[in-house]
């Protein structure tokens, strides 16, 4: 079977564990690719996602325990994928693009008309 999905991870402990290796072995449709050591730029979109989560949500709240952390992170994930338009997909929402309800090459909102001022 040819892998259908490639999972890119850093070299953190969870991704080097026997448990993760067993999971990957049990799913031949998955292919695991690790970034080079000490090169976070190779996984830039993931790093950027975590940065957005921290600066747009987590650093703005008083989070007292792990359950609150999970709640805030999940609320951000839901907002990010279902409510928030993304410039990279022509200002559509990821869920709409995933479900085939939006064209990622066509913006879903009217652009302002720039008229001459004189």
* Residue 105 token pair: 């090459």
| Mean pLDDT, rounded, for 39-60 | 89
Q: Could you state, in order of their start, the residue ranges of all structural domains in the chain?
A: 1-38, 44-103
- Give the pair of three-digit tokens for residue 81: 């994928």
70 has a pLDDT exceeding 90: yes
pLDDT for 5-37, tens place per residue? 999 998 999 999 999 999 999 999 999 999 998
Q: How far apart are CA 97 and CA 114, in angstroms?
A: 28
- DSSP, collapsed to helix, strand or coil, labels residue 30 as strand
What integer pLDDT is reported at residue 59 of this predicted model? 95
In this predicted structure, the answer to whether residue 109 has a pLDDT above a threshold of 90 is no
| DSSP result, 31-67 | EEEEPPTT-GGGGHHHHHHHHHHHHHTGGGS---SHH
Q: Is the pLDDT of residue 108 over 80?
A: no
What pTM did the predictor assign? 0.65
């Amino acid at each position: 079977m040819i892998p259908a999905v490639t999972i890119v991870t850093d070299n953190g402990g969870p991704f080097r564990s026997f448990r993760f290796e067993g999971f990957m072995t049990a799913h031949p449709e998955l292919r695991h690719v690790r970034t080079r050591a000490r090169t976070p730029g190779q996984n830039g979109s993931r790093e950027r996602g975590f940065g957005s989560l921290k600066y747009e949500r987590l650093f703005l709240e008083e989070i007292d325990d792990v359950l609150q952390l999970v709640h805030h992170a999940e609320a951000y994930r839901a907002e990010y994928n279902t409510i928030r338009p993304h410039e990279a997909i022509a200002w559509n929402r990821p869920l709409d693009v995933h479900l085939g309800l939006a064209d990622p090459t066509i913006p879903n909102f009217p652009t302002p008309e720039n008229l001459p001022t004189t």
